[in-house]
Structure 1
Amino acid sequence: MTVHPDARKFLDIVAGAPPLDTQTVEQNRADLAEAVSLTGERQPVSSVEDIEIAGVPVRVYRPFEASSPAPAFLYFHGGGWTIGDLELADSTVRDISIAAEAIGISVDYRLAPENPFPAALDDALAVTTAVLKGESGLNIDVNHVGVAGDSAGGNLAAVVAQQLRGQEPRLAHQALVYPATDLSGLRTSSHSEFAEGHFLTARDLQYFYANYVGKADATDPRLSPALNADLTDLPPATVITAGCDPLRDEGESYARAMSEADNTVTSVRFTGQVHPFLFIGGVIEDANVARRLIGTQLRASFSNPAAKLSER
């Protein structure tokens, strides 16, 4: 598959970066922090506030001031549960918040290897549960709350959606961007085809999985949501994949499996894009398109959670 010209520009910028497993975690985090300049312009919103919800640090984005309860979404950043932070996700969450016309809550969950599974999931669940119960301290309409995330964050969003299904209030939507859905192995065609040369490598995935899984069983559905035998009764889903990404096939397979379990699913592949294009809004225009798409899908679910969104 041909790499998109914008994605090629990004690959040229990061060419020669050392394999993650040859550096310390601190070095890898510092290197990723340098990529903030590639994430695009930070669009103005009404307010940005760093607080804690359920004891977990979060950053709250309000696109407008409202006297009545507003819809909201929780965002879980990518980075293999090991790197990444609120700064890297900042422009992304701003854009989604504006498009969704909803409060954005970016979650600063604990990172591995210092805090392996289930620490990140525990934080994601704690914040989401507090928001749904009206215990966030924010003026949120608890009947219109969604979850979203990319890569490792997409994994967390998918697992949170599974863990909280059937509970009231229900999640209105889940937006999963090139989610890691099966941590038990690298067996798909896209894992092989894009194992090297497209930023995220098979070696990187093994590094991330080892850090996060630790001594746990990688087939646990709380680690590998695609291995859950029951995918019924999930929130409406938007699944976004990148055409030149080793995680492409497992994301699209999970979208199909959710659809076959009679869930409402919109699945969109950005042809020629690479992992982690959603963050690279300063170089890759499709990042900005994808952010608007996520916001639009969230807004549609908030307007009419029962509405059927078309499968693509």
Structure 2
Amino acid sequence: MTLNPQVEALLGMFAQMPPVDLATITAPEMRAANDRPMAMGPPPEVAQVRDLSIDLPGRTLAARLYVPADAGENPPLLVYYHGGGWVVGTIDTHDGTCRAIARASGAAVLSVGYRLAPEAPFPASLDDCHDALVWAHDHAADLGIDATRLAVAGDSAGGNLAAAVAIRVRDHGGPALRHQLLIYPVTDTDFTRASYGENGAGNYFLSTAMMEWFWQQYIGDLAQGHVDGATVLHTGDLAGLPSATVIMAEYDPLRDEGVAYAERLSAAGNPVHAEVAPGMIHGFFSMFEFVTDALPHIDAAGARLRAALA
């Protein structure tokens, strides 16, 4: 399919922004350039928004709880991990996304402000995301949620973290998960895949060079190959994981590694719904105010979450 016209118009706006020199830019400079929430008016309405602090050993994480109007008593909880290459992104940049998912799913959503690389490299963010899930389970009464109906979700690097959390709680014990929503997840360090060749030159928002830079901030030397807990596509055993929704974008360098991960999850016996959104780019799920054609994908993902958490 050709590029979605709404996406094409948005890319035209992005093209007016000054280019980033990945050879010299620092993580704080990257955050200054990227951590500005985009909005076109009021965000999607939900019944309740609470800013929280998650107190964990040696650190405190910011978090935000969203409860939609149709949540009912003791609703299920989706723990959400924002994207941004493990380096950028905040609970504020993904405020609209979490609101939209809460409305579409009927679930409460807890957005987690995990520590960022390179100041806190792997596995700090994974530890935070895992421990935040455990904290939410243990504080279910305070949050007003049903601890027996839990799911994880994330976009891009957040999708990587959600997948890794699901694997960790399976392997080491922890709260039982009913579903994982992985939105164009990062799963591998193989930049030779066809989707990188087709979409990685920088014309479609995310580039190969950017992904190499993000991975280097997160794990350091890319030559080390598989990193258990980071390159989730190469996890030896993917059996016994929660059902999954895996959403990719046609014009995304990450498309093929997302497809490959969905295929491995399915081959291991896990129920999987996988789709490649036609005409879309990396990040489209959070661009719904500009790219309204993203809304049906959000609604469909929300419906699958609603069913899994019923």
Please report the TM-score for the alignment, with normalisation by the length of structure 2: 0.91
The match for 2:261 among 254, 266, 270 is 254
Instruction: Give the residue type in structure 2 aligned to 1:101.
Output: G
Stretch moving more, 195-204 or 231-240: 195-204
Question: Where does the alignment leave 5 or more consecutive residues of structure 2 unmatched?
Answer: none
| Alpha carbons 2:249, 2:277 under 8 Å: kept | yes
Stretch moving more, 52-61 or 132-141: 132-141
Cα displacement (A) at 1:133: 3.5
Q: Please show how residues 173-252 of structure 1 align to structure 2 within 5 Å.
A: 173-183=179-189, 185-196=190-201, 197-214=203-220, 217-252=224-259
2:279 is equivalent to residue 272 of structure 1: yes
Question: Where does the alignment leave 5 or more consecutive residues of structure 1 unmatched?
Answer: 304-312
| Alpha carbons 1:172, 1:302 under 8 Å: kept | yes
Instruction: State the match for 2:128 in structure 1.
Output: 123
Cα displacement (A) at 1:168: 5.8
Instruction: State the match for 1:5 in structure 2.
Output: 5
2:37 is equivalent to residue 32 of structure 1: no
| Alpha carbons 1:144, 1:171 under 8 Å: kept | yes
Cα displacement (A) at 1:221: 2.7
Instruction: State the match for 2:15 in structure 1.
Output: 15
| Alpha carbons 1:92, 1:291 under 8 Å: kept | no
2:147 is equivalent to residue 145 of structure 1: no
Cα distance change, pair 178–51 in 1 and its aligned pair in 2 (3 A): same
Cα displacement (A) at 1:67: 7.4
Counterparts of 2:46 and 2:73, CA distance in 1: 18
Deviations 1:140-193 (A, max 9, x none): 11111100000000000000011112646410100000000013x312110111
Cα distance change, pair 251–66 in 1 and its aligned pair in 2 (3 A): closer
Counterparts of 1:51 and 1:20, CA distance in 2: 36
Aligned residues: 301
Counterparts of 1:133 and 1:230, CA distance in 2: 28
Counterparts of 1:12 and 1:41, CA distance in 2: 24
Cα displacement (A) at 1:290: 2.3
Across the aligned residues of Structure 1 and Structure 2, the Cα RMSD in angstroms comes to: 2.0
Instruction: Give the residue type in structure 1 aligned to 2:144.
Output: N
Instruction: Give the residue type in structure 2 aligned to 1:5.
Output: P
Cα displacement (A) at 1:4: 1.2
Instruction: Give the residue type in structure 2 aligned to 1:9.
Output: A
The match for 1:156 among 148, 152, 161 is 161
Stretch moving more, 57-66 or 155-164: 57-66
Counterparts of 1:56 and 1:3, CA distance in 2: 38
Instruction: State the match for 2:92 in structure 1.
Output: 87
Cα displacement (A) at 1:75: 0.7
| Alpha carbons 1:236, 1:263 under 8 Å: kept | yes
Counterparts of 2:165 and 2:26, CA distance in 1: 30
| Alpha carbons 1:232, 1:263 under 8 Å: kept | yes
Stretch moving more, 228-237 or 124-133: 124-133
SS at match of 1:163: helix
Instruction: Give the residue type in structure 1 aligned to 2:242.
Output: P
Deviations 1:80-139 (A, max 9, x none): 001111111001100101111111100101111111111110110001112234467311
Cα displacement (A) at 1:288: 2.1
Deviations 1:7-46 (A, max 9, x none): 11111111154135143322321222335236x7411111
Identity %: 38
| Alpha carbons 2:85, 2:156 under 8 Å: kept | yes
Q: Please show how residues 282-297 of structure 1 align to structure 2 within 5 Å.
A: 282-297=289-304
